Amino acid sequence: MTDLLRLRPAVPAAGTAESSSGPAWAPTRALGRTILLTGLLLLLGVALGRVDLVLLAAPFAIGAAINLRRTPVSAPEITISADESHLVEGGEVEAGLTVANPDSIDYDLVVVRTRTSPWLKLEHSDRPFAITVSADGWAAIDLPGEALRWGRQEVGPAAARAAACGGLLACRPVVTPARGVRVYPVTEPFNATEAMPAAAGLVGAHRSRRPGEGGELAGVRQFAPGDRLRRIDWRVSLRTRDLHVASTLSDRDAEVLLLLDVLGEIGLSGGVRGGSSVLDTTVRAAAAISEHYLHRGDRVSLLEYGSTARRLRPASGRRQYLTVLEWLLDVRPDPAGTEQYENMVSAHHVSSSALVVVLTPLVDPRAADMLAQLTQSGRYVVAVDTLPAGAKPPVRNQWTPAATRLWRMERENVLGRLREHGVPVVAWAGAGSLDLVLRDVARLASAPRGR
């Protein structure tokens, strides 16, 4: 038994696998010592003519024969179970391990161990478990815990090694692949009550500047063929002795494009209860903004500003919201470093009537250039600053504080130049973050343009 417990690590390293050739069960050191001790006692008893030595070897030989009269054939089967429900950061995770014995021989001892993602805080997952499993039976190990951060986390891989026949035989380590757990970002409270700068759909909840069937009164005009009788304004018609109808503005939906700057990662993520990195703020803000506008019936699309330029097509409804959450799970910082990319996002990638919300830390100069180009092309752009308030580089020498101050001054200059180009920049602060800038963008959109 002690030989089995000395196996470290219980889970083989990534990329390694036990060879499938050879028997599944192998003799342990205990069986080797039993055979060696029995043989030595018998040899000495015969050589020295000592009957007591032969009698002393008898229990070892008889015990090994009794335990080995039936040997196992099948290795244990291990299964990883994980919560498949809608799991959000900070939620409880219900994970577990199930070890089954398909053989007709009892497993005297099964040592089970599993790896888990560092963002899944599962109870006692950092230590091995020792259990017994009866013939044709199974045993379960519960691993309750908490999900600390969004993303595709993993429970596993898990490994098990069983001992049978009184510890004389042990199976090779059985490894099962990891089980994925989808942890969705927590939706921070967000609400935007200001009008959209452009509403181009056929139906929706936003008041547009185009006449049509809606609830916002635009004026009174003379009756024309095709007008509905219920639109007749009888007071004006009786006063002018000519039919007049009430004209309304159509209610239309809007398209919102969330542009995620993934050119780099700044800050350390502390999970749902710790500090937030740039990527944490970006993903959580994107989830909150998407939920708000999709709940109002608008069309939402997402686009990554990076080398991959992943894109999610615009759509509306609850299905699109679930698709957005699934899409956000695969957001990763761009590992390209300082490599230059041309036309990662250009004006022809963005609809002329869409509201472009750019989530960016405004650290990479390419992001500032992209914002200026989109604004100059006539797009409605709002920049959301996702840089943490206390973000600063690690102290390397005595010049680091001075370099940090220079970097912050340069960043303030970039923000000032963006505002001069007409790009509103606001720091993400949850509910009401975009109300002021959306009001300014809506005013600019409704203002007459010079020819």
Rounded mean pLDDT of 198-203? 46
Any idea which residue has 């006063």 for tokens?
A: 239
For the cut 50, the answer to whether the pLDDT of residue 204 exceeds it is no
Per-residue pLDDT of 226-262, as tens digits, reads: 777 777 788 888 888 788 888 765 544 578 889 998 8
Q: Which of 202, 197, 188 is nearest to 444 (CA)?
A: 197
Kindly indicate the confidence band of residue 364, based on its pLDDT and cuts at 50, 70 and 90. Answer: confident
Q: Which of 362, 370, 378 is nearest to 410 (CA)?
A: 362
Lowest mean pLDDT among 111-120, 207-216, 236-245: 207-216
pLDDT value of position 8? 42
Alpha helices in 329-399 (DSSP H): 365-376
The pTM of this model reads 0.73
Contacts within 8 Å (CB) and 24+ apart, 38-41: 38/64
CA pseudo-torsion sign 312, 318, 319, 323:
positive
Q: Which of 379, 370, 258, 260 is nearest to 314 (CA)?
A: 258
Per-residue pLDDT of 47-96, as tens digits, reads: 888 888 888 888 888 888 888 888 888 889 999 998 877 888 888 898 99
Other Cβ atoms closer than 10 A to 175: 18
For the cut 50, the answer to whether the pLDDT of residue 9 exceeds it is no
244 token code pair: 């007049």
pLDDT value of position 425? 83
Any idea which residue has 């999709």 for tokens?
A: 294
